Chains A and B, each alone.
Chain A
Amino acid sequence: MESSLDPAPSLLEVRGISKSFGAVRALQDVDFALRAGEIHALLGENGAGKSTLIKVVTGVFPRDAGIVRLGGEEVAPRSAKAALQAGIATVYQEVNLLPNLSVAQNLFLDRQPMRFGIVREGEMRRRAKTLLTEFGLDLDVAAPLGNYSVAIQHVTAIARAVDLSARVLILDEPTASLDRHEVEILFGVMRQLARRGIGIVFVSHFLDQVYEISDRITVLRNGRLVGERETASLPRLELIRMMLGRELAETTSARAAASELKAREICASFENYGKAGYIAPFNLELRHGEVVGLAGLLGSGRTETARLVFGAERADGGQARVEGASVRLQSPRDGVRQGFGYCPEERKTDGIVAELTVRENIVLALQAKRGLHRPLSRREQDEIANRYVKMLDIRPPDPERPVGLLSGGNQQKVLLARWLATAPRLLVLDEPTRGIDVGAHAEIIRLIRELCDDGLALLVISSELDEIVTYSDRVVVLRDRAHVEELTGEAIDVGNILAAIAADNVAVALEAHT
């Protein structure tokens, strides 16, 4: 960790921050240093701990350990408001302003210029106008904020934050919903603020923007600090490796060589399958007894591919075939009828029914597939639940426990059981190992291998490249919502996947699709 070499004094210094939510360690001994007048990118995949770090620093969450110093003095804000008063302002992706109030009212909310208990509208507008002019904006400050674009709203939020004497400005995914021109406006404001000596923390998933605007980069992964680098001297490939790769050991697929020998039957195939504005048309063949891994950064189209394959999202073009026969996948029900199963990434919102028991969660998909009039008797349900509780070692081994009370790993196993009970031909697993402890992690991977050996076709998404490399027979790499490369056999290794993700030229993408 290179941060100790820091020559310039830090404006904001974070040392040894830890934070746990129940048994989940969201942050572990994280350091972070922000200099005055710099734009510092904070990067990491989903669940890396970026948001938690921001919330701990700004007092939204209490921290378990560690210290925060602002300008050399220790601060411990207990709320976002206290942090703001101390000089740390945060602007979130969803602007926390009131679109129905005027721009001026939003800027001076809670601190309107008053005289005799009456708001001095004229004074407020004049000051709002002056303030925004500094940011290069010339607006009608009396108009409702909601009339303006998201970029303007962002700048307004920033102007408000800075005017509240902020020394540190944290921007959490500010560009996510902005177009190119709007990003320019925002970047202009950011550069100007940096020149005034304000330290800016910039959280973004857009690496191009990170390289364009930031001076330094800090990368978090699984709640730990991976490293802090100067942007100019950090190659893109290295950055992606920091974000994704745990070790740089070039593990190649143990399976690849063996599986190539056997020609496998095609289970499902997708030809020119896609949906406009969702994911570019792709070709994908899934074979029995084969694991296909989907690799790519967050937002690259992995989940989109999975949802299209399962039928959770409707394709607007292309052809899907199951065992050679052309099929229509219009809804999850269609997918289930075709013998597909889908374990979504968001277990809690899209997977489990927390209130129902392990047994009920396990039989749910099978019962839905059988239909209303063919209910599973209680005895059949018990039998199925007990079988999978035992087979997948679900703990505690109590089928009558509400599934919401189980740990993440066990909930994941319940979801796997739900689909296995339907005797599927294809299983789509989106981040099956996310947020589960190390032991369960290894078990899930072992299960994926076993299921595959039993002749199931698997499509697995994971941000853990080591993991993908271990179990995949083929790896499809995605970038910018398109399938850009397919790796097979010997070619499957972390380095090649990273290279495909990082490739700057669009030529590869075009090649793969024409």
Chain B
Amino acid sequence: MTALLPRRGIAQILALIVILAVDRVVSPQFFDLRLQDGRLFGSLIDVLNRGTPVALLSLGMVLVIATRGIDLSVGAVMAICGAIAASLADSHSLPVVLAAALGAGIVCGLWNGFLVAVLGMQPIVATLILMVAGRGIAQLITEGRIVTFTSPDLVWLGNGAILGVPVPVAIALGMLILTGAVVRGSALGLLIEATGGNARASELAGVGTRAMILAVYVWCGVCAALAGVIAAADIMGADANNAGLWLELDAILAVVIGGTSLFGGRFSLILAVLGALIIQTMNTGILLSGYPPEFNLLVKAVVVLAVLLLQSPKLSGFAGIMARLRRTKS
């Protein structure tokens, strides 16, 4: 099991520090924090708060990718679960609303997991189905409108604070700890890495690879559901067309920036979340700098390239191993 902050995280931490420094240059008040109404405010808090949905998604995505899969449907699942939460918010208590939304996330995860693990579909195709259909389902739930709510409980989930920390940030942190505890506290981490590293060999070693794959898609669904609820709570409404739009790509990006290979195997939860924060720090920095948001995409691409280059000694080392394996095989 990897240590809490593995050595291989240096590239990501460096990247985050550099981006924070740049943010500080474009916006001198970047590191300012102030407490107001029992809640912390400031650009840094904003980064954490805005970064929460992608951070949550990346927690599920990193496990899926570790099994050599991918989940393109998380954005759509966010929309479904946000729509469910918004529709129920004013008529039901918060526990019921949460249970319904998370339940929907589990069902979505089971569906994806079923297609991949049981029917053996390629993950990218299997989850594409829900990516497309999910947004339709969300629109059916909201009946094509933007459903708004006023339930203070749900609003608190998006805008409240616990000990000064915004609730979404607290939830993301809690999920990171919970996921870490489950994955690294049980044998799940090892078995997921083995499944992703070599599914055939793992199966022959007695690992229940199907169960592993099913489990990670379900967990990915749960994470997406939470992200969806938080996104809805944040704007006090559900927009089936735009909630979570393209966020699956940010989540995949976060995982890749976090150093987990799309070929599966080794993964790091913390670095995936760090990847999500790197993305959000960039987004916020560009907004603060006053540059048009169009630059965001370009800058993002450049930073991703930079992070990957920083990791490249390891990448080339791995490529060397793979090449050697391939050569001896033939």
Contacts and interface: CB of A to CB of B under 8 A. Distances in A.
Say whether A and B bind each other.
Answer: yes
Given A332-B204, A350-B204, A355 B266 contact: yes
Interface of B is mostly: helix
Given A22-B328, A355-B266, A364-B194, A375 B206 contact: no
B64 to A, nearest CB: 17
A348 interface: yes
B33 interface: no
A402 B197 CA distance: 12
Given A356-B194, A372-B191, A402-B321, A24 B204 contact: no
B265 A355 contact: yes
Given A332-B204, A353-B198, A405 B187 contact: no
A405 B328 CA distance: 12
5 contacts: A22-B327, A348-B325, A353-B197, A367-B191, A418-B205
B203 interface: yes
Interface of B: 1, 185-188, 190-191, 193-194, 197-198, 200-208, 265-266, 318, 321, 324-325, 327-330
Contacts of A21: 327-328, 330
A405 B321 contact: yes
A451 interface: no
A353 B190 CA distance: 11
Contacts of B327: 21-22
Interface in A350-373: 350-356, 360, 363-365, 367-373
A354 B206 contact: no
A370 B187 contact: yes
A355 B197 contact: yes
B1 A378 contact: yes
Contacts of A405: 321
A368 B206 CA distance: 6
A342 to B, nearest CB: 6
Contacts of B201: 349-353
A333 B265 contact: no
Contacts of B200: 349-350
A21 B330 CA distance: 9
B207 A364 contact: yes
Given A372-B186, A372-B191, A378-B1, A333 B197 contact: no
A374 B187 contact: yes
Nearest to A61: B330
Contacts of B205: 332, 336, 364-365, 368, 418
Contact of A404 (B202, B207, B321): B321
A370 B206 CA distance: 10
Contacts of B186: 372-373, 375
A352 B200 CA distance: 9
A335 interface: yes
Most buried by B among A353, A370, A373: A353
Given A333-B206, A365-B205, A418-B205, 4 more contacts: A22-B327, A360-B190, A360-B194, A368-B202
Nearest to A342: B204
B324 A22 contact: yes
A344 interface: yes
B208 A368 contact: yes
Contacts of A352: 198, 201
Nearest to B185: A375
> How extensive is the interface on chain A, given as a class?
35 or more
CB-based closest 8 A-B pairs: A336-B206, A353-B197, A368-B206, A375-B187, A365-B205, A353-B198, A368-B207, A355-B265
A352 B198 CA distance: 8
A331 to B, nearest CB: 8
B261 to A, nearest CB: 9
Contacts of A354: 197-198, 321, 325
A428 to B, nearest CB: 11
Contacts of B193: 353, 355-356, 360
A312 interface: yes
A328 to B, nearest CB: 15
B307 to A, nearest CB: 21
Contacts of B329: 348
B197 A356 contact: yes
Interface string A24-47: 100000000000000000000000
Contacts of B185: 375
A183 interface: no
A364 B198 contact: no
A376 interface: yes
A492 B241 CA distance: 75
B198 A368 contact: no
B325 A367 contact: no
A365 B204 CA distance: 9
A440 B174 CA distance: 50
Contacts of A402: 321
Nearest to B321: A404
Contacts of B1: 378
Contacts of A355: 193, 197, 265-266, 318
A368 B187 CA distance: 8
Contacts of B321: 354, 402, 404-405
Interface in A53-69: none
B2 to A, nearest CB: 11
Nearest to B327: A21
Interface in A81-128: none
Contacts of B187: 367, 370-376
A310 B205 CA distance: 11
